[in-house]
Structure 1
Amino acid sequence: MKLVLTLIITALSGLILCAGAQTMNRVEVDGQPLFMNGGNIAWINFARDIGTGEPRLDLFEALFKDVAAHGGNTMRMWLHTTGALTPAWDGSTVTGPGEFAIEDLSAILDLAYDHNVSLMLCLWSFDMLRIRNGPEVTERAFSLLTVRDKTKSYIDNALVPMVEALRGHPAIAAWEIFNEAEGMSVEFGWEFNKHVPMHYIQQFVNLSAGAIRRTDPDVKITNGAWSFRVLSNKAPDQKAEGEPVGPRKSSDWMTVAEIEALRRVMEHTYGTSFTLDEAKARYDETANRGEHKNYYNDEALIAAGGDPDGYLDFYTVHYYSWGGTAISPFHHDFSYWELDKPTVVAEFYVEHTFDIPGNDLYQVLYDRGYAGALGWQWIDHYRKRLRHPHNWENSLRGMRRISENHREDVKLIFSSGKPEQHINTPVNTPAERSGMDRKQ
């Protein structure tokens, strides 16, 4: 009898531990812990989906309907992106969210709500410092990141009014501060961008997150990391036992197939041809400039900006084949990275990834303990771009498979009612919400 009781207790303990681990690897949306099952829009009209007064609501609705029909629950959408249209500017000072920005975003969120799809709202991208944007757009964005008074003008006059106006909308899965900000960093940045030190990026994330949290304490906040190189203290390029002493190049981890994949990505990114050796050299030059660590944990962000409320609720990370298998979420369990928050893989091509078939990628992320899978991207499908012609169809198949196999972890039914639109931006926003006076 004692043996039977012992076995029962052991089994129940295992179930409890398993349930606890699963909850740890979920993101709460409208009170429901979810595996984020979906994809990236990421835009219909680049940097202009909000702020025109004429968003393509017909396309957004068709997209949300398609996602819902395949069991998806989350889509990722970019907002300001470069800052060319929104927010509103007076020189390098932000004066408001931009005409129609809140109205347009509210209408899109309402459509998502109608189809039980939530939106991860990404404010900015590394594209804000693209040199080709022209000096007006690039220089004011540079000031926004590096001059605290300019950061404050954005937070007080644009970010807080947007969050306040949309506070409590159940279709907001999260506010995301940056898309791959490392691409405009001194430590990791790409040649086509102007660069700022990672410190300024961390500071901006901290101050923005703190302002969002004080304005809407219930909403989730995240940030889109370019790769695990900037999200994990577990260095992916540690030497194997017995290797010679001395620095090891990042590309030394790669197989010939992985270097070939890297070469193709670089040719697409830079618009010029590369040999395998040139691709390796360019990658090593970029990857080895910055320290590989978690730049976005609570301690790092608060140290950079000084706002104790400026932390993330969950992490998001991106993966493409240039990273090989060493920093691949498809080849490592979530626990491998030793992270302290749920982590969503929020960009990846849904195609054969070294030894893993494309149709298995969503399921692999689920099985390995991640908090979500968001394939890249719908707009390529809509525009009929040939580089990845089946990516969106494969994403939908992945969503459906997860929905059929794990419905209880992905089914989103909004329990909160759709709020009325709040389109009147406050004239005077309390300065203390920005948290800018906490650290000079």
Structure 2
Amino acid sequence: MSRIGYTREKLNNDASPAPHRGMAQAALHKIESNGRFIKVMAALMNLCQDNVEGGRLQIQGTDLTKDGHKVFLSGANLAWFTREISVTTSTSKSEVGWRGISESCTKPEETHNPPTLPVSYTDFVLLLGLWLHIEGETTPKFDSDGYVTGLDNGGTLVGDLKEMLTYAAQHDVIVFITLWKGAISQCKHYRLNGLSRDTAKLQSYIDHALVPMVKELKDLPGLGGWDLMNEPEGELIPRTHNYDPCFDTSGLSGPGWAGTLYSYQEILRFLNWQAAAIKDVDPHAMVSVGAWNARSDTDQFGNHNHFTDECLIKAGGRRQGTMSFYQFHSYAWHGRFDSTSPFKHSANEYRLDKPIEIGAFRQRGSEGMTIRQMFEHAYSSYAGAWSWQANEDS
């Protein structure tokens, strides 16, 4: 998965001419009128004349900042659309393609034609699609015993990613790369299962794939950060008592739709080790995980926050292995948001000590809100909003 977005800067400036009200408004217009555009999480600080090469994203309390300015990260998810995803970025003058980054066992009903995803801003149109490992279908490279021996079979993935990130930076876009997906369990899940349960196998991934990849990409201005896993609760074992509230799921219903496979301790260890490895190489890296629901990410409303620094370190033992910001998803069920949905609350009501991103939502999964209304609600108090998904109409 890849994520694209735009900064908050100048969105507030009502005096600016309509075409220059910031990329977030351009994105809102395109989402509303076309329903298709991209998630790459992005900070476009001062319109197209400025370059993303200034400073990196930073955390200041519950805000994300860049070059000293508070920013709002706005965009959309681009998920699966073909068995072998081709990541293509194009302009009216040139076209550069990236191939072979992706999943290989997508179900037929999940396969679509590659979409055209216009983001209107001066004279360029940017198209990008990317899932990285998912469940380990095509990357990283595994041996017959389930240990990781490299990043990919052909040795071309790093070069592809560098090319993509360089191109993104030239257009003032930064990219978040999602490594794994917990919301599905398909033909190659046994590979991800090995990494989740066996720490020796997980360490082999860190040593032979993750760390080399981070070393190669960390200094590229087009890289925004790392989204470690999409909805790990899809494979969480619910309603299981543990004396430690970090790992207790006895009061948690909803997770496990893709299989009741892992305890919270196993999931948090999996995340903790990878986050620590990334930060050991790149101490200023942004790292997140896309929680299925706000219920996993707050102590408010009768819930427990399982993704705190304390819980992650307790599970994995690596002090660097924490999240830079909180990110949770929200969809209506039978036409209604649940009581913890970010579309029912402002960000400060969760009483969290880090920025909050609404990491997945869509117009068709709302209580009748338009996509513009959803982005505007997010903009009023959250640090960012990334809709789902770019290759759907809404």
TM-score band, normalised by shorter chain: 0.5 to 0.7
Question: Which residue number in structure 1 is paired with residue 210 of structure 2?
Answer: 159
- Partner SS state of residue 217, structure 1: coil
In structure 2, the residue matched to 1:27 is: 64
Choose the corresponding residue for 1:220, options 265, 281, 286: 286
Q: 2:344 aligns with which of 308, 319, 331?
A: 331
Question: Retained in 1: the 8 A contact 2:84–2:99?
Answer: no
Match of 2:75, SS state, is strand
Aligned twin of 1:54: 99
* Corresponding residue number in structure 1 for 2:90: none
Question: What is the letter of the counterpart of residue 108 of structure 1?
Answer: M
Q: What secondary structure does 1:158 align onto?
A: helix
TM-score of the pair, normalised by structure 1: 0.61
Question: For 1:394-405, what aligned pairs fall within 5 Å after superposition?
Answer: none
- The equivalent position to 1:37 in structure 2, one of 49, 60, 74, is 74
1:62 and 1:175 map into 2 onto residues whose CA distance is: 25
Equivalent position SS for 2:131: strand
Structure-2 residue corresponding to 1:193: 259
**In structure 1, what is the Cα distance between the partners aligned to 2:66 and 2:130?**
16
Partner of 1:79: 132
Write 1 or 2 for the structure with the bigger share of helix. Answer: 1
Give the unaligned 5+ runs of structure 1: 1-21, 239-291, 381-388, 392-440
CA contact (8 A) 2:347 2:382 kept: yes
Q: Counterpart of 1:413?
A: none
* Counterpart amino acid of residue 337 in structure 1: Y
Q: Is the 8 A contact 2:85 2:99 kept in 1?
A: no
Q: Which amino acid aligns with 1:95?
A: T
Separation (CA, whole Å) in 1 of partners of 2:284 and 2:116: 29
1:235-266 deviation line (CA, Å, top 9, x unaligned): 3xx5xxxxxxxxxxxxxxxxxxxxxxxxxxxx
- Which amino acid in the other structure matches residue 315 of structure 1? Y
The Cα RMSD (Å) is 3.2
Give the aligned partner of residue 169 of structure 2.
113
Deviation track 1:143-197 (CA, whole Å, cap 9, x = no partner) reads 1101110110011110001100101111111101100010011125434436111
Aligned residue type for 2:310: E
Which residue in 1 is equivalent to 2:306?
A: 295
Distance in structure 1 (CA, Å) of the matches to 2:181 and 2:122: 30
Q: Match of 1:34, as an amino acid? A: V
1:152-301 correspondence to structure 2 within 5 Å: 152-187=203-238, 189-193=255-259, 195-235=261-301, 238=302, 292-301=303-312
1:89 has 2:145 as partner: no
Change (3 A) 1:107 1:45: farther
- Contact 1:55 1:104 survives alignment (8 Å): no
The one-letter code of the counterpart of 2:342 is P
- Larger mean CA deviation between 72-81 and 110-119 belongs to 72-81
CA contact (8 A) 1:173 1:220 kept: yes
Matched position secondary structure for 1:313: coil
> What is aligned with 2:316?
305
CA distance in 2, matches of 1:182, 1:73: 32
Deviation of 1:26 (Å): 3.3
CA distance in 2, matches of 1:39, 1:327: 22
The structural deviation recorded for 1:301 is 0.2
Separation in 2 of the partners of 1:70 and 1:314? 33
> What is the CA distance between 1:44 and its match in structure 2?
4.8
- Higher deviation after alignment, 325-334 or 82-91: 325-334
Match of 1:103 among 149, 153, 159: 159
Cα 1:116–1:49 shift into 2, 3 Å: same
Code of the aligned partner of 1:316: Q
Secondary structure at 2:119's aligned position in 1? helix
Q: 1:53 to 1:359 in 2, by over 3 A?
A: closer
- Whether the 8 Å contact between 1:232 and 1:294 is mirrored in structure 2 is yes
2 CA distance for matches of 1:351 and 1:106? 35
Unpaired runs of 5+ in structure 2? 1-58, 88-96, 102-112, 239-253
Change (3 A) 1:125 1:77: same
Q: Is this contact kept in 1: 2:225–2:285, CA < 8 A?
A: yes
Do 1:68 and 1:115's aligned partners in 2 also have CA atoms closer than 8 Å?
no
The question of whether the paired residues in 1 share the 8 Å contact of 2:356 and 2:384 is answered with yes
Aligned length: 296
Task: Indicate conservation of the 8 Å contact 1:230/1:293, yes or no.
Answer: yes
Of structures 1 and 2, the larger Rg is shown by: 1
Q: Does the CA contact (< 8 Å) of 2:231 and 2:292 recur in 1?
A: yes
Aligned partner of 2:179 among 110, 123, 129: 123
TM-fit CA distance, 1:37: 1.3
Any idea what SS the aligned residue of 1:186 has? Answer: coil
CA distance in 1, matches of 2:355, 2:129: 17
d(CA) in 2 for partners of 1:168 and 1:74? 23
The whole-number CA distance in structure 1 between the counterparts of 2:300 and 2:83 is: 35
